[in-house]
Structure 1
Amino acid sequence: MQKRYLGQHEVGAIGLGAMSLGGMYGPTDEAESFATLDAAREAGISHIDIANIYGMGRSEAVVGAWLKARRIAPGQGVVLATKAAIIPGPPRQINNEAAYLRAELEASLKRLGRDHIELFYLHRREAERPVEEVAGSMQRLVEEGKIGGYGLSEVSPATLRRAHAVHPVMAVQNEYSLWTRLPELGLISACAELGVSFVAFSPLGRGIFGDQPLARPMDPFRSQNPRFSAVNLPENLAAVARFRAFALARGYSCPALALAWILHQAPHLLPIPGTRAALHLRSWGKAEQIRLGAADLAEIAQILPAGFAAGARYAASQRTGVESYC
């Protein structure tokens, strides 16, 4: 697989978002999760992204068990990232206190079977707490050898700059895809300027860019999301159907082309699509081999212009801690 940099780590250009391994988008089991992780490694994926709340620790435990079963030690080709700060509700709360982040990190390391992790994200920013204080907390974890570097998720360019001035930020993780383009308004360019990797989560639009059109009803998360409502979903499916036809006419799967589009936007972008099935992973695993010319990109822009998606990307209950900046 083509390589890119996540901080100082050379990783596959495409990573794996492991939220689905915790059952967030439907039931799964350890055998299926292990098969998915094995397929990811075979495809050249070396960057695995998790969080403490994915399945309330289940995703981390599954990845930790897989690492142990496959005898993959730290530094043997798998770069891990996890996150903390969200306290699930209702109502959802955000805690950036140093003691809380440290305790959650220790619990994550125990589930992963590690005493160190390459990247530790602030999953959401607590608006009332100065981000400089949080950056200082992360710096101490780096100095103690608990983490290789820290990241921020769903933040504004201004927050990135303030944190980076205290201690360099390794990566920013925000939603970015053909139907979520907000990071183009300053965040992607700020990351490039500061030498910060940009990790694109939900690069397949939470399944909208899958091989098959989505149908309702769905899991609890998407069933509350405005873009998947009974009113908005048909409009979004119709738009993506045109893109899917464009991809198939050129011999690509819809998810592979959606990932290739992201990779063509800038060299510091690393998409992390998620799946709980090895079969789905194989449908997009070679996306980095797709080469898109100016004419291809122009046609995609006509089919799916920026802002085409009907509905907000989060419901009010899902927006806690997400920074707006435009």
Structure 2
Amino acid sequence: MQDRTLGQNGPTIPAIGLGCMSFAGAFGTARDEDSFRCLDAAVDAGITFLDTANIYGAGRSEEVLGRWLKSTGTQVTLATKGGITRDPARPTNNDPAYLRAELEGSLARLGVDRVDLYYVHRRDPSVPLEDTIGGLADLVAEGKIGGYGLSEVAPHTIRAAHAIHPCLAVQSEYSLWTRLPELGVLQTCEALGISLVAFAPLARGMFGRVAPDPATMGENDLRRDIPRFSPANYPANLAHIQRFRTLAEEMGQTPSALALAWLLSRSDRVIPIPGTRTAEHLSDWADADTIHLSAEDIARIESVLPAGFAHGDRYSEGQWKSVERYC
């Protein structure tokens, strides 16, 4: 596995990480034994950057990781997040005391004394940024976190936060069907030496060997509320991605590996964190960092999936509420 640096002076980590939200059942039933097999397979492939959050399954994802870490003793680079609440009256809370308390809960579930990266999962505009970042800097000084990150924020927030205390990473949805980071976030991260951790890089399953069927999605599957999976938009999206599957076959790659290779080619600051519940799915893309794409290859990919091809928004109105919009 190729390496990339987390932030400007952070740890060296694999070019591809593993998003662990699926272990909490966000996209269907998740069995712990399957999650453990997936984690074992990830480490075998050199994928040791693991990304979770306290909100995933109300702590379940962190608990699964904690049990696996305890049973295996594997050394990994851990990232988790805090700042989303379960209070409808205040869906985000970036108060330093709240973030500290949430971190303590995450550390207990993970069974560790520190995490390498702690994200503000969503920006809370009611708390001055100076207070939030100052509190995170205190956690760095105390050795509870290696550094902090921001998630789903605008370029101006990244610049302002980094000026207070250096930021290691910004997490944004980024893939062939969500290219919004190219309108400011990617450029800002490159200019400041910040990593751009790309979540949902496989378009929430659309770049798998078999496209997900919205009709069979479980009641708790978060994609049920995403407009791109609605009856009005899904057929058009599926038709586009079927053409990409054909191209991947012609190029001798799985669709998921080719989609990640394209993303890795965008910048050496980009670190995708595809998520999966199974070792079998992970094997489809674990070697994507070995794929070299020529300018002609990239042109072919983007002729099939041009910027802005996706029909429908990437979030529902409710899901947008705590995301910073900037264009």
Q: Same fold (TM over 0.5)?
A: yes
Q: Which residue of 2 aligns with 1:246?
A: 247
* SS of match in other structure, 1:284: coil
Alignment of 1:70-89 (within 5 A): 70-72=72-74, 76=75, 78-88=76-86
- Structure 1 residue 128 displacement after superposition: 2.4
Could you say which residue in structure 1 is the equivalent of 2:147?
149
- Residue equivalent to 2:24: 22
Give identity over the alignment, percent: 54
Q: What is the CA-CA distance between 1:129 and the residue it aligns to? A: 2.1
Equivalent in the alignment of 1:139:
137
Instruction: Note if 1:186 corresponds to 2:184.
Output: yes
Structure 1 residues 301, 139: closer, same or farther in 2, change over 3 A?
same
d(CA) in 1 for partners of 2:90 and 2:97? 19
Q: Which moved more, 1:50-59 or 1:21-30?
A: 21-30
2:325 counterpart residue number: 324
Post-superposition offset of 1:204: 0.4
- Cα-to-partner distance string for 1:30-54 (whole Å, 9 max, x where unaligned): 2111000000000110100000011
SS of aligned partner of 1:173? strand
Question: 1:154 touches 1:173 (CA, 8 Å); kept in 2?
Answer: yes
Contact conserved, 1:171 with 1:198, CA < 8 A, in 2? yes
**What does residue range 1-326 of structure 1 map to in structure 2 within 5 Å?**
1-7=1-7, 8-72=10-74, 76=75, 78-88=76-86, 93-217=91-215, 218-219=217-218, 220-326=221-327
Cα 1:27–1:91, aligned 2, differ >3 Å: closer, same or farther? farther
3-state SS in 1 of match to 2:271: strand
Partner Cα separation in structure 1 for residue 208 and residue 34 of structure 2: 19
Per-residue CA deviation, residues 242-279 of structure 1 (Å, 9 max, x unaligned), is: 11100011110000000000000000100000000110
SS of 1:93's equivalent in the other structure is coil
TM-aligned CA distance change 1:46 to 1:315, over 3 Å: same
d(CA) in 1 for partners of 2:317, 2:141? 37
Q: Which amino acid aligns with 1:181?
A: R
Q: TM-score, normalised by structure 1?
A: 0.97
> Structure 2 CA distance, aligned partners of 1:132 and 1:246?
48
Residue 12 of structure 1 and its aligned partner are, at CA, apart by 1.1
| 1:92/1:320 contact within 8 Å kept | no
SS of 1:198's equivalent in the other structure is: strand
The aligned length equals 322
Letter of the 2:5 partner, please give it.
Y
- Provide the C-alpha distance between the structure 2 equivalents of 1:186 and 1:319, rounded to a whole number of angstroms: 19
Which runs of 5 or more residues in structure 1 are unaligned? none
- 1:92 and 1:317 in contact (8 A); partners too: no
Deviation per CA, 1:207-230: give whole Å up to 9, x if none.
Answer: 111111221222431111100001
**What is the root-mean-square deviation in Å for CA atoms of aligned residues?**
1.1
C-alpha contact 1:179 1:205 (8 A) present in aligned 2 = yes
* 2:235 partner letter: P
Structure 2 CA distance for partners of 1:19 and 1:4, relative to 1, 3 Å: same
Aligned counterparts of 1:110 and 1:314: Cα–Cα separation in 2: 31
Q: TM-score, normalised by structure 2?
A: 0.96
State the secondary structure of the residue aligned to 2:170: strand
Contact 1:18 1:48 in 2 (8 A): yes
CA distance in 2, matches of 1:307, 1:68: 44
**Contact 1:259 1:271 (C-alpha < 8 Å) held by counterparts:** yes
Distance 2:87 2:34 in 1: 29
Gaps of 5+ in 2: none
